[in-house]
Amino acid sequence: MLRYDIAIVGAGPAGLSAAYSASKLGAKVILFEKEPAIAHSIRTSGVSWINEMQKFGIPADLYNPIRNFSLISPSNEVTIRGNSFTSCVLDIRRTYQYLAALASDAGAEIMIKSNVEDPIINSANKVCGLKVRTLRGSIEVKSDLVIDASGFSSCIARKVGLAKPWKRYGVGAEYECRCEKADQETWFLMVGNRYSEAGYAWAFPLSESRIRIGVGIGRPESEVDPLEKLNSIMEKKLRPLNTFGKIQPLELHYGFIPNEGLRQMTVSDGFIMVGDSAGQSNPLVLEGIRYAIEFGRLAGEIGVKSLCTDFNKGSLYEYEKVSKDKILSKINSAMKIQKRWIGLSDERWDREIEIIRHMSADEFLDFIRAEFTISNMVKLAVNHPKIAARQLFGMILNP
């Protein structure tokens, strides 16, 4: 039986970041990825925020900077123009492979095309390893800590009994396209039934000639197939696609993202959940890469700190506390807004955009990033005294 300090399931940004931080601090780490290559299948649109990417050391050539934000409803439209670049669209494949290089250079062992079949649980009900089917055959790995970064499936957490299948989630389909004339500095969100019955559509540019166009639909609110909806939007060239010139799909991406907020528990004896497995995503635009990197690194750091305490739940609880203190209230507030948005008719969406129209770029970014601090919300309510705006901000502030 192979022996490691930490075994990690999943080579997305959460797992790779955990492997990097733990290895950098001296732990013996192994990471298992079921796909035949890092980022072999892309399941995210790659929207994130430049400040965080700079903080995490992600090179600028791995993302396209964005400073303008356009929202389109059936009969209304607003573009909020920023003076500086604040958002970005990541080159997912290259970003994930960069994170893999960081982990490998720090000393982590990465095994691709390796399917984790079961956790190993000892007589004290502590997770102490994994059973894995690899290209070299079936193996058993003994480890002091297992980190579940398996994404939406939460495959190990479910087998451990720490998590149940997600009941509310988003399913998205996206084409990465060659296009004739995209606005490289602007991303678009499109709302209303013509775009998505319970969600939104998007157009996120990677460059002046490459763009990701997709549709996300909330379950269980709607059973519509997002790929069928996306194909309809593409065929009809609904706005803003009618401004892009010739559009040629080159890749199809398809994925799921949890939409219930944070898991109630993310640690147990010898076990941590991180990233989508733990529900660490922003419900408003269903983005979580920044959280995956941040809390993946935190999971690795806390794991190494627990080397001398037998990786019990108490020693690992710092991870859960820090992550919840940082994002739980933001996610809960964002879910209130999202639930309101999912139920809006086309006519009400047209009115909702009027609330957003009067925001500055900084105010809009705080809003869409789910930065719902009390000071931010009070400032918005004071600066925008319209009744509709007050109702919206009051809903966020009230428990």
**CATH number of the domain enclosing 144:** 3.50.50.60
Could you tell me the pTM of the whole model?
Answer: 0.93
Tokens linked to 37 = 């290559």
- Count Cβ atoms below 10 Å from residue 353 Cβ, excluding itself: 18
Burial of 197 (0-12, 13-18, 19+ CB in 10 A): middle
Looking at the structure, tell me whether residues 107 and 28 fall in a common domain: yes
Among 310, 327, 344, where does a domain finish?
A: 327
- Residue 178 pLDDT: 97
- Residue 399 pLDDT: 41
Q: CA nearest 254: which of 220, 226, 274?
A: 226
CATH classification of the domain holding 190:
3.30.9.10
Looking at the structure, tell me whether residues 22 and 97 fall in a common domain: yes
Looking at the structure, tell me whether residues 248 and 378 fall in a common domain: no
Looking at the structure, tell me whether residues 193 and 272 fall in a common domain: no
Among 327, 355, 382, where does a domain finish?
A: 327
- Residue 123 pLDDT: 87
What phi, psi does 385 have (nearest 5°)? -80, 5
Q: Indicate the pairing of strand 210-219 with strand 87-90.
A: unpaired
- Residue 368 pLDDT: 82
Looking at the structure, tell me whether residues 363 and 286 fall in a common domain: no
Looking at the structure, tell me whether residues 122 and 238 fall in a common domain: no
Helix (H, G, I), strand (E, B) or coil at 100: helix
Looking at the structure, tell me whether residues 202 and 175 fall in a common domain: yes
Looking at the structure, tell me whether residues 16 and 144 fall in a common domain: yes
- CA dist 220 and 231 (Å) reads 21
Among 258, 292, 310, where does a domain finish?
A: 258
Looking at the structure, tell me whether residues 277 and 191 fall in a common domain: no
Name the domain count of the chain. 3
- CA dist 111 and 130 (Å) reads 13
Looking at the structure, tell me whether residues 155 and 78 fall in a common domain: no
Looking at the structure, tell me whether residues 207 and 178 fall in a common domain: yes
- CA dist 264 and 60 (Å) reads 35
Q: Do the Cβ atoms of 304 and 26 come closer than 8 Å?
A: yes
Q: Do the Cβ atoms of 370 and 396 come closer than 8 Å?
A: no
- Residue 271 pLDDT: 96
Peptide bond into 240 cis (omega under 30): yes
- Residue 164 pLDDT: 95
Q: Going residue by residue through the chain, which has 399 residues, state the pLDDT in tens, using 9 for 90 and above.
A: 899 999 999 999 999 999 999 999 999 999 999 999 999 999 999 999 999 999 999 999 999 999 999 999 999 999 999 999 999 999 999 999 999 999 999 999 999 999 999 999 998 889 999 999 999 999 999 999 999 999 999 999 999 999 999 999 999 999 999 999 889 999 999 999 999 999 999 999 999 899 999 999 999 999 999 999 999 999 999 999 999 999 999 999 999 999 999 999 999 999 999 999 999 998 888 789 999 999 999 999 999 999 877 778 888 999 999 999 999 988 988 888 888 788 788 998 988 888 788 788 888 888 788 776 656 655 666 666 554 455 555 444 444
> What domain range is 135 assigned to?
2-38+92-164+263-327
Looking at the structure, tell me whether residues 8 and 104 fall in a common domain: yes
Q: Do the Cβ atoms of 299 and 319 come closer than 8 Å?
A: yes
Q: CA nearest 254: which of 177, 172, 199?
A: 172
